[in-house]
Amino acid sequence: MMPDQIKRYAIVNTSSTFDKFNAKEALDAALILASYEMAVSLFFIGDGVYQTQASQNPELIDGKDFISSFKALSFYDIEDIYISEACLAERQLTTNLAFKDAKLVNKDEFSIFLNQADVILTF
């Protein structure tokens, strides 16, 4: 059954890439929402910014490389991706990102974009 209206969903990632299974289950939820033609945006804040890095070595822990699929998010029409610039900087991470297109935003911008969502799910 397809929902009868379109809502805007924000998927907020606060866990590092391989901290429990949060990152993968967040991505699964985002892709399903997008496949139902919902408007989905992704947010990365706190340790969630670790997920944004292009250079990761999941094979070292026999992990699945779901990060490489971030490049394909535009095929699902997931194009609004917001990363906390301050959280990246605090962790001394690079701006070599796993996305084709993502926006580094300050705290105020992060809040503004997040407030545009109808539904916020945090992982």
Partner 1 sequence: MSSFALVVTTSPIDNKTNTALAFAEQLLADGHILKGIFFYQDGVLNANKYVQTPSDELNLLTAWAEFNKKTSTPLHLCYTAGERRGLTDSDDDQFNHNIHPAFTISGLGELVVLTCAASKVVQL
| Site of interaction with partner 1 (CB under 8 A) | 1, 3-5, 7, 9, 21-22, 25, 28-29, 32-33, 36, 38, 118-123
CA–CA separation, 117 and 8 (whole Å): 5
Nearest to 34 by CA among 65, 11, 68: 11
Place of tokens 């580094």: 104
For strands 119-122 and 103-105, give the pairing: unpaired
Of 32 and 72, which CB lies nearer to partner 1 in the complex structure? 32
Of 22 and 97, which CB lies nearer to partner 1 in the complex structure? 22
CB of 18 to partner 1, least distance (A): 15
Of 30 and 67, which CB lies nearer to partner 1 in the complex structure? 30
